[in-house]
Amino acid sequence: MKLIAVTDNRHTIEALAEKIIAIKDVVDFIQIREKSKSVRELLTLIEYLLNNGVKKEKIMINDRLDVALMMGIPTVHLPECGLPVQMVKQRYPHLRVGCSVHSFKKAQEAEANGADYILYGHCFQTNSKPGLPPNGVEPILHMKNELNTPIYAIGGISLKTIPSIQAVDADGVALMSSIFKADEPYSITKKFFEAIQHEK
């Protein structure tokens, strides 16, 4: 299983960069999801990360196709209601394009449109989606049986829920609050990294 760290749009550029650099060796990917940051701030952040040992191949840019192209980042992640996956793949075939979905039907559509991976959620109760009931992990099993695209679980994931995600054969997990709210992000991220390496 792979581990994706998803930024939470709650930190300054400096603080965020510090956290990302701290965890770069115990995650497979870092999704830059900073909706309130300006383009210039995002460019500054990415340039700083690249200059401090974070590999381009580990970075995913959420939504901002322009930023990904400008900085030569090979992976762009699209929200469910964002740019059409098929259009991005056709125009920029060199890019790895992921997509967020919240149902099996949308996962089917994402695969048909050429998505390279799918982020499915939210799987468990999470403070980032207050009042919205979780979708659970069972739909991932359906996706894994019917689709060929890698499926990553997101939403309210804890060390205790990792076994249930492994049980439905997810290709990985994506974490936001667990990492970016932590006082010591490296320590908790390493625990998750080690947990997902264990066979189910």
DSSP-assigned letter for residue 62: E
DSSP-assigned letter for residue 13: H
Residues 200, 195: Cα–Cα separation, whole Å? 10
CA atoms within 13 A on the CB side of 54: 26
Which of 11, 77, 94, 122 is flagged as catalytic?
122
Is 11 known to be catalytic?
no
CA angle centred on 187, ends 44 and 122, rounded to 5°: 75
Residues 8, 16: Cα–Cα separation, whole Å? 9
Residues 76, 10: Cα–Cα separation, whole Å? 21
- 185 and 15 Cβ atoms separated by less than 8 Å: no
Residue found by looking up tokens 């939403």 in the block: 155
Q: What is the distance between the terminal CA atoms of the chain, rounded to a whole angstrom?
A: 10
**Catalytic (active-site) positions:** 122
